Amino acid sequence: MADDLLAALAEVVGATHVLTDEGTTLPFRTDWTGRWTGECRAVVRPGSTAEAAAVVRACAAAGVPVVPQGGNTGLVAGSVPAVGSVVVSTRRLDAVGEVDDSTGQITAGAGATLAAVQAAAAAAGWRYAVDLAARDTATVGGTIATNAGGHHVVRHGMTRRHVVGVEAVLPDGSVISHLGGLVKDNTGYDLAGLLCGSEGTLGVITAARLALVPAVEQRAVALVGFTGTAAAVAAIGPLRRRLPALEALELVFADGVAAVGEARGARPPFDGAAALLLVEVAGSGDLLEGLAPVLADLDGVVDTAVATDGPRCEELWRWRDDHTDVINQVGDTPPHKLDVTVPLDRLGRFVEEVRALVADLAPAARLWLFGHAGDGNLHVNVTGLAPDDETVDRAVVELVAGSGGSISAEHGIGRAKRPWLHLNRTPEEIAAFRSIKDALDPAGILNPGVLVPERR
Ligand code: FAD
Ligand code: MLT
Ligand code: ZN
């Protein structure tokens, strides 16, 4: 049967796009951090929506699970294949269409990278506002399937806000396509919205119609060092209130900045800053005129570096963006990565509590905190833990839930956080998830083991 299926898949996509060799499939079976590796029968790379549909149909007929995968940069093991599955890699579906200048929209294949969409938008005088450090690899389909957040959520919202329509293959191999781009279109259920954040459990997205925003004329970036966490957190409200052009508001700490500096062979920007905020404003006119008095009014500031030209702005951003790569190199085992939101008025207290918790449970481990401060989204990374020991992870998510927060701010639930979904979702909500899953995927073909808990 397995051979029959592989032959059928090769018939659909061509034998060169059915990968079965263990070495060749390894990068598709291992997550970005290297913490999880799965097993699959094959990685299949369809070159069109019709091929993707035929692949899903063949797998469904054989009762073989399908794991959709884009850039494989996800951080919750959502694209790590279940045993015996077929990985459907969308990377060949990378066409990026023309920008429609009247609506500010673009149609892109699910396998197009964020960077490719951003570049196409920029060339036409527009901007795709979704941005994250994995932009060169993360795909349109993956960012929709995870409802990715990133740097600009404070101003532009999560990916869902930018998705006008999608084309997707449903678990039975049928295709839904709604890429017309009508701005107003109240014709029933929001299937595109449903697929946002569905993590490959409801459909294989093959293309999307995306909304762009006008390109910004200028931007300014300030890296502001504070005496401590309390002063940095206290600055979040005034910065949000007083800077209408606020585009990003990110938080890092001295230890993370020092590690980035060591990796880059560069001196950290300031001495004596325990916590730092990266503030980006974007718009037209003299941005510094608006930014300077706001920064001057903040309390507990040690020092500030400001940039307005592109390269220097990028330079300041690297102190923040390089955290993920640098932390992934610390120690002999991959980091445990949690991605949480706490109510902004609890953020300062949460930082102290999570530090105490990790020090207590795993004194030899190292805790790294950074994140999207403007959204109350903190990335809690712990290095020096055994890959399978979830004691610290569990304690942290319980602390988050007890603080009124979310155990997944932006990365999703995946396999990694599925056991803890009940901390944030009621039994009734989980039952509704299950009903939706069962309605669209009664045979459980798409991404089993991800997001939706097993039926009881
Ligand atoms: P994958 O990793 O391939 O898949 C992720 C999930 O989506 C899986 O469940 C998969 O099954 C599903 N999926 C993928 N493609 C499809 C499809 N076409 N149809 C249906 N389901 C699909 N995330 C943030 O939110 N904010 C950040 O700031 C951020 N920064 C990051 C920085 C770095 C350096 C790295 C490595 C990751 C970062 N991430 C961030 C996480 C990751 O980039 C995002 O989750 C991204 O959306 C994943 O896209 P992908 O194409 O790599 O998806
Ligand atoms: C980030 O904001 O840098 C990411 O979400 C990646 C991470 O959590 O490491
Ligand atoms: Zn993030």
The atom of ligand 1 lying closest to the CA of 139 is 51
Which H or E run includes 208? strand 204-211
Say which ligand is closest to the CA of 383: 2
Q: How confident is the model at residue 2 (pLDDT cuts 50, 70, 90)?
A: low
Ligand 1, atom 14, lies closest to the CA of: 142
Distance 22 CA to ligand 3 centre (A): 31
Q: Is the CB of 224 under 6 A from ligand 1?
A: no
Q: Interface pTM (ipTM) of the complex?
A: 0.99
Does pLDDT of 1 surpass 60? no
Q: What is the mean pLDDT of residues 104-114?
A: 98
φ, ψ (nearest 5 deg) of residue 260: -65, -45
Q: Is the CB of 79 under 6 A from ligand 1?
A: yes
Range of the domain at 282: 218-325
User: Domain boundary residue among 180, 214, 248?
Assistant: 214
Taking only the tens place, the pLDDT of each residue in 346-367 is 999 999 999 999 999 999 999 9
The CATH number of residue 179's host domain is: 3.30.465.10
Q: Is the CB of 379 under 6 A from ligand 2?
A: yes
Query: Any residues with CB less than 8 A from the CB of 435 and at least 6 apart, and which?
Result: none
396 and 371 co-located in one domain: yes
Query: Which residues, listed in sequence order, are joined to residue 379 by a DSSP beta bridge?
Result: 339, 370
- Whether residue 145 is contained in a domain is answered as yes
192 and 241 co-located in one domain: no
Q: Is the CB of 133 under 6 A from ligand 2?
A: yes
State the helix-helix crossing angle for 229-242 and 347-361, rounded to 10 degrees: 150
**Are 346 and 304 a contacting pair, CB within 8 Å?**
no
- Whether residue 442 is contained in a domain is answered as no
304 and 223 co-located in one domain: yes
Distance 297 CA to ligand 3 centre (A): 28
Distance 319 CA to ligand 1 centre (A): 22
The CATH number of residue 81's host domain is: 3.30.43.10
φ, ψ (nearest 5 deg) of residue 287: -65, -35
Strand order across the 204-211 sheet:
105-109, 204-211, 163-169, 175-177
Ligand 2, atom 8, lies closest to the CA of: 379
- Ligand 1 pocket: which of 33, 43, 75, 113 to mutate (most atoms within 8 A of CB): 75
Taking only the tens place, the pLDDT of each residue in 184-224 is 999 999 999 999 999 999 999 999 999 999 999 899 999 99
Ligand 2, atom 6, lies closest to the CA of: 324
- Ligand 1 pocket: which of 45, 66, 79, 159 to mutate (most atoms within 8 A of CB): 79
The atom of ligand 1 lying closest to the CA of 195 is 20
How many domains does the structure of the chain reveal? Answer: 4
The CATH number of residue 375's host domain is: 3.30.70.2740
For 330-399, give the secondary structure using H, E and C: CCCCCCEEEEEECCHHHHHHHHHHHHHHHHHHCCCCEEEEEEEHHHCEEEEEEECCCCCCCHHHHHHHHH
- Whether residue 455 is contained in a domain is answered as no
Q: What is the mean pLDDT of residues 112-126?
A: 98
Q: Is the CB of 450 under 6 A from ligand 1?
A: yes
- Whether residue 98 is contained in a domain is answered as no
The atom of ligand 1 lying closest to the CA of 325 is 34
State residue 455's pLDDT score.
76
State residue 3's pLDDT score.
78
Q: What is the mean pLDDT of residues 12-26?
A: 98
Q: What is the mean pLDDT of the chain?
A: 97
